[in-house]
Structures are given as structure tokens and as C-alpha cells.
Structure 1
């Protein structure tokens, strides 16, 4: 027996994007297997196939700035084929930023569900840095917007266009209030959303994302302390924090360890890491973009994952993956991270955001541990994360069931 018909509008879809798009893929797969009839409207040219999901690919959706998204989504709202889709479905699901369509979906009598994977409704750039207040005024918000454009995108054009984009952002804060349900992915994220938008508090539901599809791997730890970093040269993922910490360890000659770095690094960053390696004789291996199989091998050898992110990530998949792969995450006590590791021995390896001494101390304590202890903690955190996320499926099925 078929259940409700769900219309999904997602500007991009897995394999494009990052954690939010992957989570959406897992959620739709789960719902399709449960019997929901799903139609996906996206701008991704080759979306990942899910059995039972019907796809509409359109040039009116894409991974663009707020102003362009708003203009093209408005055009989508006037397309006959899209209006017909609205008439043919029961639930309207927004996993990204198609907020201008909420009122239209409500007009057609659809229950509207918005999934929030970052801070898009309450931050111009979708990122809530650990060093900023939970609630910002307009001027403060615009200042943080400039900060983000300069340090993350390094774009003069985006910075100059900020006032227009910010106006659209302010509209989106109003659009989202019409949604029937808002799904947040951690309690800390829900708290920040509610503080900024008190009117939506009653509609918020916290549901963890489905666990990623990862094989169980046997830990084959390197003989010496080995640390894995997967954030690439990203500013918000804390690349600059990692570099400062490596320099500190080198100057102190604290302990010998190997550092495996995956993902993309600019030429300047590669040169910077090479200089650190030579000056302090630190064993730094830049692996770059590697295959899934190679990443699993890296996790198998790693004593711990380094995750110096500088924003309050609601539910980072990198932390979840490391726990599933029995690898202790060394991460800031910010965002949804504390509630993920709460109650495990990995909790003691969280550090105060931005505190290099606290970060370095966590590495030192890992380096002083022996293999049996590391493997024991690894088994504990894998069991913990599987149990903690065990009710996700039932909670998602419940919220999508009229």
C-alpha cells in the first residue's frame, strides 16, 4: 500500500554538494523503501538514483547565491508542470533553501516540511561561528557576512553584492515561519534557530540524520601516533588552526607523530605545509582527494581524527563517520558535537574552540595511549553512535506520515 506523496525541491542533490545533500539522499531512500511516493525536482544533471523516486531536472535550480536562487525559484513557481506537481502531492519537502515556495505549497493544501542542515534561516551565510553571539542584530549580521565573504570566499564581488543578498536573507526568515514542521539535526542547532526565530519554536523537531552507509573496518593502527585530517584547505573547517597547532608542536618538539591530510589544498597551502614539514621535521603526508577505499584505509591506520572546525556544525558527518570507523574524534566543544560523543570516553578529547593548547593537549594524550586502549575506545564509540541513531528511521517516518 502506498503512503503519502512527497514533492521535494532541492537546488542540488547528491552526488553534488556535501553532508546536507548526502543526508537528503539517505532520507529519501529510507522514505521510498517505506512506501512513500516521491518526486524530486532538482538542478543536478545526474542525481543519484533511488528506486521508486521520480526525477525532474530543471535549469531553474542550482547552487547559486541567494538573489539568483530567489529569482529562479520564483520563475519555477509559475511553471505549469510544477503547479501540476503541487496539485498531485500531499507533502512539500525542502531540504535546502527553496523557502519562497512554502506559501505556494500551503496555498495548494500541502503539508510543508523544511529540513535545516546548517543555519541558513538565521545566518546570511548559513554558518554560525563559535566566536559570535547566538543572536545577531542586522548590522552585526552584515558584518559577519562581510567576514565570511572575505575569509571563506575571498570574493570582492560577493562582498559588494552583500546588501542585496542580505535583503533576500531577511525575507527568508519570514518565509520559513509558514512551514508546518522544521526538522533540526541537533539540539544545539534547534536552540540557536529558536533563539533567533521564536515564532517557529513550536514547529521545531530534532531528528538526527540517518547514519552514513559505511562498511565496518578492522582497525590496523600504525605503530606510531597517526592523525587524520579530512578538511582540506577550508577556512571554516579549521585549516589555519591545524597549521598553528602543527607549528606549536614543532616548536615544542612535543612528540613524534604522522599527520595524514586529505582533500584539496591550494598551491600556497601545499608550500606552507612543506615548509612546516622541513623546518620542524614533522611527518606530514598530503594525500589530497582520495577514493572511498583509500579513505577507509586511512581511517584504519589513524589513531584519531583531527576536526578543528571553527563553526558550530549541527551534526558533522565527519565526526559520525570517524566514530563508525572506530576512530576517536578530536574536535571542538561546539555545535552538535558534544551531544554526539556525550557519554563516551571520546568526550574527554573535545577541546575548547580556538584553544590551541587544549587542542595540542588532546593530541598528546592520544599519542601516549597504547593500541589496546585505542581499539577499546574505538569499539565503544562505534556501538554508542549506532545506538544513539537507532530511532532516526521511526522519527522520520512519523513526521512524514499525515
Structure 2
């Protein structure tokens, strides 16, 4: 690993130590971008730099193949030093917890005495960076650009393309995550760990009220999320009042993926092309990269559109803005609930007319029929109808909608955003509510019964929110603050569970057979269950008992149990009586 502390002299150190130093954390960072979140992160970093902050960036990047995952490279982007870590995996089984990234992060903030951390999308680098920063005494602010804090996909889309409205049922899409030791863990423990990390931030931000509500509904950081628009750099977006004369140029600038509604847009173009009377009166340009890009090229090459529909690929930023200025309308047919799409902010500020799906944060930006057009999700006919409406009524309608957008241009300025963000960074944070109770889980891969219990626990205890954290992801502080240790595998050795629980004074919950329960029914801090209802009863009892009355007074006795168990664990037929421990 590169010794960042040893390299501290490579960065100018003439700046007064009292200067405010902040690091932006983002899984990707310009010029390598996947979506709008990375653009926002860099823009806000530059804005703080202009306001006198000393700014760093800690980011990920897709491995090039020239270096293995975990390799750190450094560069500079518009005067901001960027430390880029080659991401080892974007697989949901491992993209949320990466100790190596945490080690690099710790070295960076220690080398430059950084006091503030501004997290954007961290999946790929790992959510553990947030609690790590807090444990180091750093001020942490986090912007939620999508649903990564409670949905492993970030989109809330199910396998069939529908929008998920039951956030507790992640198992319906992903039955379990693989662990290095083999086997799978219930997806809920991933979800709970990510949510727990996120809730450790001092301040949480969502660019839209909709996404803030979605986290509330998912039981993550309830009533803690500030709605603050990302804003945009108005200097980079020239205002142009559209006339609506001549061919209507439509632009779709988005990631080429299913969640952005690209297949539906192509179907809408097919429907529009059937209107022979409108041919020559419109064009559609698609700009962006993504895994559907080859499909888009192939489909357009086989179509009869000619120059009416073009795929531009990923455009440099300046060229994209020029293309936007030449477009009368912007189409965003996303089938997932967007937060605050950058392209919609830019289209409004430029004077273009937005057409977008009526879900997520889009209705917060578009007043249907007044500043743009909202359509139903996953409905190619509705998209085509909206485009036809603009084509047929362009000269009379587009100038009105364009003028209405330009009238609200100033409120989109990132100047307002940065004033609010700087206040959130420097003002004392609001008192955080008490964290949800933590249950440490361990003992290897759970059996089917325990997996089913994990997946249905929200139904068994609907009014008892808890966080289930896998033992390998819990640091000493997490263990110390836990309510209990759940040893959820009946077959594996209980000794490690006893050892760790005794070390932190935690009661142990274990699934066992009746005979074992009888033999250990006297043991302080040991709770047996056989059916889910029994587990729920034990948990409710522990949660209702003050921590001082649970296990900690019995730590010495627990250690005696450990010694006796160690001597007898290889014997299949034995009894442990309380007298044995005297």
C-alpha cells in the first residue's frame, strides 16, 4: 500500500494548519463519470475550493487491467488532487464493505489532517468509510443521489421492472450475498449494515424531497434528511428562448441502461416514425454510454430512421452543452424513480422543454403543461404522444414553455446550494437520535430456518426496528454498543460465539435442539429458541431490559462457562452443572 503520510510533502504544506480541509468521497470522479452524481461532486468540490477550502478527492475508478484492483493512483482534476483506487468489484456481494479502501482513506485524512468529509456515492469504495470517518472525529456530510442506502441496486426496481414498494423484502430480488468463507448470508444483513453506516453521518442530504421520503419509508435515517437541490453552474448553461420553428430536435442524454427507459424511448421513436406526415419535422439524438449502447447502435443501424434518430455516444461535457442548446426539448423516459436528474436541471436552465416520466423527483422540477410534459412510466405510446404534441404545436407552445423555464433559472443556481451546504458543514450538527439496537450475527452460513427468520423478522417485530450486523463487518465499537450476539447456526461450534460475547459482555441468542437447551438452561446470558416466535420473544425481552441488567454483571461467570465448555466440548455426552463452576 502506498504510504500517503510519507508523501504528504508532495502536496503544498504552506497552508495554515487552521485552514479548512475537506475530502470528497465518490465511487467515480471526473473525467471518469457514470452519471450526474460524479459531476455534482466535482462541481461542489470546485465551489468550496473557490470559497477558500483546501479540497481533496478520494475516488474509485474501474480497473483498467493494467493494474490489479486495490491499486492507488493519483492525479489532479482542475486543481484538486484526486486519489483514485482501482475498484475491485461492483458486485453487490462485496461493493459495500472494503477494508482496503478504508485503510487508504485513513492514511489520506491522517496525512493531510483533514477534518471534513463529504460523501457522495460510495458503493464500490464501501459504506464503512462513513463510520470510520466519524470514529476519527471527522465531520461527515453525505448526499444521497439515489436509493443505495436501502436498495442494493440503488434504483428500487424489481426483476420484472416494477418499482419496489416493500423495501424490507430485498430477498425477493437477491436471496443472499456470498461471503469469502463460503455460503451466503441473507441480503438483509447487507441492507442493515449499509443503513447503519449511513446513519452514522452527521448530516444527510437528498436533492429531492421524494428521495428523502423514500428513505423515511424504508426506515433509514428517519426525519434526518435535508432536502437541498444540487443546483447547477448557470455560467456553463447559456439561456436560449426556443422558438419552436423548424424541425423539433429532441435530446436524450442519459446512461444507456434499462432503468433510464432507453428501450421504451426507442419504441416511442418507432411509433413516431409511423406518422409519415411528421417525418422531416423532428429529430432525436441519444447521448451517453452504458451497457445498452451496442443494442442502441445495432437497432438504429437496422431501422429506417435514417438521420432522424442518431446515437452520439458519450459526448465531452462542452459538446453535450452545445447539443443541448441546439435542442428544443429533452426527453428523460426513466422507469426508476429519479432523484434530481442533472439533465433536467440543465434543460430547464437552458430553456429547453423537458419531457419526463411522472415519478420520483421529476414532478418537483416540472409543472405538467406549464414548464414541460410528464408522462406515465414505461409507456412508449405516452412518450410518443408528448413528442407529437410538441411537434404539432411547436410555434405556439414551445416558446411559452421555454420562457416559463427561463423564468425560474436563477433558483437553480448552485450559489444557493453552496450557501446552504457550507452552512451545514460549519454549523453545529443537529443532535442525532439514538441509534437503532444492533444484533451481531455470526456462526457461519445460517441454515434455511434462520434465513427465513431474518427475511421475515420485520413481520414478526413490526414495531421493533433493529439492525442485524454480520460479525466480520463489526468493529470493536460496534460490538461494544450491541444488544446481543445471535449465533444463528445450530451445527457450528458455540465456543467462538461465547468468547466474543464474553469479551464484550453480550448475551448470546442461539438456535438449539431441546436437549442442548435443557443442559444450558441455567447459564446466565445464554438464550435458546427453537421457533421464530421464541426468537422474537427473547429479542423483545432483551430490548426491554436496561443494558446494565443484562449480561455485563455476569461476564466473570460467562468466562467460567467458556473454560468449562472448552474442556468438555469434544465430548458428546456431558452435563454442565452450576456447581462445576464454583
Question: Shared topology, TM-score over 0.5?
Answer: yes
What is the aligned partner in structure 1 of residue 167 from structure 2?
136
**Conserved in 1, the CA contact under 8 Å of 2:251 and 2:286?**
yes
Distance 1:238 1:391 in 2: 31
Residues 346 and 186 (structure 1 numbering): CA distance in 2 closer, same or farther, change over 3 Å?
same
Q: Which residue, out of 91, 105, 108, partners 1:65?
A: 91
Distance 1:126 1:254 in 2: 42
The alignment covers a number of residue pairs equal to 380
Q: Give the CA deviation at 1:25.
A: 0.5
Distance 2:46 2:403 in 1: 28
**Conserved in 1, the CA contact under 8 Å of 2:237 and 2:346?**
no
Q: Which residue, out of 360, 364, 380, partners 2:384?
A: 360
Mapping for residues 161-180 of structure 1, pairs under 5 Å = 167-180=189-202
TM-score, normalisation: structure 2:
0.58
Given the alignment of the two structures, is residue 300 of structure 1 paired with residue 322 of structure 2, yes or no?
no
**Conserved in 1, the CA contact under 8 Å of 2:131 and 2:200?**
yes
**Conserved in 2, the CA contact under 8 Å of 1:226 and 1:302?**
yes
Residues 211 and 162 (structure 1 numbering): CA distance in 2 closer, same or farther, change over 3 Å?
farther
**Conserved in 2, the CA contact under 8 Å of 1:241 and 1:308?**
yes
Q: Which residue, out of 99, 105, 108, partners 2:133?
A: 105
Distance 2:369 2:407 in 1: 10
- Deviation per CA, 1:289-322: give whole Å up to 9, x if none: 4444543443333231121111111011111121
Mapping for residues 386-401 of structure 1, pairs under 5 Å = 386-389=410-413, 391-401=416-426
Distance 1:379 1:89 in 2: 45
Distance 2:335 2:40 in 1: 22
Distance 1:46 1:178 in 2: 28
Q: Give the CA deviation at 1:125.
A: 0.9
Distance 1:39 1:293 in 2: 24
Distance 2:42 2:132 in 1: 24
Q: Give the CA deviation at 1:171.
A: 1.6
Q: Which gives a bigger RCO, structure 1 or 2 (Cα 8 Å, sep 6+)?
A: 1
What is the aligned partner in structure 1 of residue 350 from structure 2?
325
**Conserved in 2, the CA contact under 8 Å of 1:262 and 1:286?**
yes
Q: Which residue, out of 249, 265, 276, partners 1:242?
A: 265
Residues 163 and 304 (structure 1 numbering): CA distance in 2 closer, same or farther, change over 3 Å?
farther
**Conserved in 2, the CA contact under 8 Å of 1:314 and 1:337?**
yes
Q: Give the CA deviation at 1:371.
A: 3.4
**Conserved in 1, the CA contact under 8 Å of 2:231 and 2:417?**
yes
User: Considering only CA atoms, is the larger Rg found in Structure 1 or Structure 2?
Assistant: 2
Q: Give the CA deviation at 1:400.
A: 0.8
Residues 162 and 228 (structure 1 numbering): CA distance in 2 closer, same or farther, change over 3 Å?
farther
Q: Which residue, out of 224, 245, 258, partners 1:203?
A: 224
Distance 1:220 1:46 in 2: 47
Residues 169 and 16 (structure 1 numbering): CA distance in 2 closer, same or farther, change over 3 Å?
farther
Q: Give the CA deviation at 1:165.
A: 7.3
Mapping for residues 109-120 of structure 1, pairs under 5 Å = 109-120=137-148
Q: Give the CA deviation at 1:70.
A: 4.5
Q: Give the CA deviation at 1:80.
A: 9.5
Q: Which residue, out of 298, 302, 307, partners 1:271?
A: 298
What is the aligned partner in structure 2 of residue 255 from structure 1?
278
Distance 2:50 2:354 in 1: 32
**Conserved in 2, the CA contact under 8 Å of 1:241 and 1:356?**
yes
Q: Give the CA deviation at 1:326.
A: 1.4
Q: Give the CA deviation at 1:12.
A: 2.6
Given the alignment of the two structures, is residue 377 of structure 1 paired with residue 394 of structure 2, yes or no?
no
**Partner SS, residue 136 of structure 1:** coil
**Partner SS, residue 32 of structure 2:** coil
Q: Give the CA deviation at 1:15.
A: 1.6
Q: Which residue, out of 146, 149, 173, partners 1:121?
A: 149
**Conserved in 1, the CA contact under 8 Å of 2:127 and 2:198?**
yes
**Partner SS, residue 286 of structure 2:** strand
- Deviation per CA, 1:65-118: give whole Å up to 9, x if none: 34444553x124346962762892332322122421222222222222121111
Given the alignment of the two structures, is residue 227 of structure 1 paired with residue 250 of structure 2, yes or no?
yes
What is the aligned partner in structure 2 of residue 154 from structure 1?
none
| Larger helix share, 1 or 2 | 1
- Deviation per CA, 1:252-310: give whole Å up to 9, x if none: 557333222333564443332244326xx883233334444543443333231121111
Residues 144 and 382 (structure 1 numbering): CA distance in 2 closer, same or farther, change over 3 Å?
farther
Higher mean C-alpha displacement, 310-319 vs 378-387: 378-387
Q: Give the CA deviation at 1:386.
A: 2.8
**Partner SS, residue 338 of structure 1:** helix
TM-score, normalisation: structure 1:
0.81
**Conserved in 2, the CA contact under 8 Å of 1:14 and 1:47?**
no
Residues 14 and 107 (structure 1 numbering): CA distance in 2 closer, same or farther, change over 3 Å?
same
